[in-house]
Chain A
Amino acid sequence: DAGVIQSPRHEVTEMGQEVTLRCKPISGHNSLFWYRQTMMRGLELLIYFNNNVPIDDSGMPEDRFSAKMPNASFSTLKIQPSEPRDSAVYFCASSFSGQANQPQHFGDGTRLSIL
């Protein structure tokens, strides 16, 4: 079975550029999560969608970050303009439902470096 698919795996770009991260959740899962992992802050939830609707975006750092989920099989996380402090590993995860007992299954992550 295909897991959560993220692209690209690695992204290196210069500050000020727009960055778009992509995620395809597991088929049949209706909850999708975007996380950021850094050494300093560990794993942080950025935004959470349920049935394509954003439920909690309180973790989005600032207006430079935006996320969309136009349909059940695709989501994007966009950073515009990017800054060096955005360098991190970004994970997408999906779960069968938004219920707390459902485990979240993670993609391989996108390692983002902003120069």
Chain B
Amino acid sequence: AQKVTQAQTEISVVEKEDVTLDCVYETRDTTYYLFWYKQPPSGELVFLIRRNSFDEQNEISGRYSWNFQKSTSSFNFTITASQVVDSAVYFCALRNSRGGATNKLIFGTGTLLAVQP
């Protein structure tokens, strides 16, 4: 069975603090893909990043960075020097590589990040 766990329901930080959003996944597949999405208060879902299971290289994009560790089945997301505009619900998601009907994008329950000014 596939599962994505985001244990942090809500996180509140003050602007300029660094914050890490945790994501732990379960899958029996050897090839799979991990994603992060952002849902700001306006409600849309915005794709942030995709990571392949065979590529454990960490990634940095501006203030955002992602730490993928297969050994702990984690794909954590860090925001450096947080800003009020980062306030949103962040979803981690998993999809296996098999085609057809079993190939669903499995979402975690999301982490609500509130950045206070």
Contact = CB atoms under 8 A, between A and B. Distances in A.
B105 A45 contact: yes
A100 B98 contact: yes
A107 B99 CA distance: 24
Interface string A72-115: 00000000000000000101010000111101111111010000
Contacts of B97: 100-101
A12 interface: no
Given A56-B101, A56-B104, A58-B101, A106 B33 contact: no
Interface residues of B, number: 26
B44 A103 contact: no
Contacts of B77: none
B12 interface: no
A43 B98 contact: no
Given A42-B109, A45-B105, A55 B100 contact: yes
B107 A98 contact: no
Given A101-B33, A103-B35, 14 more contacts: A42-B107, A43-B91, A45-B105, A48-B104, A91-B45, A98-B103, A100-B32, A100-B33, A100-B96, A100-B98, A101-B50, A109-B43, A109-B45, A111-B43
Interface of B: 32-33, 35, 37, 42-47, 50, 52, 91, 95-101, 103-105, 107, 109-110
**4 shortest A-B CB distances, which residue pairs?**
A106-B45, A56-B101, A43-B107, A108-B44
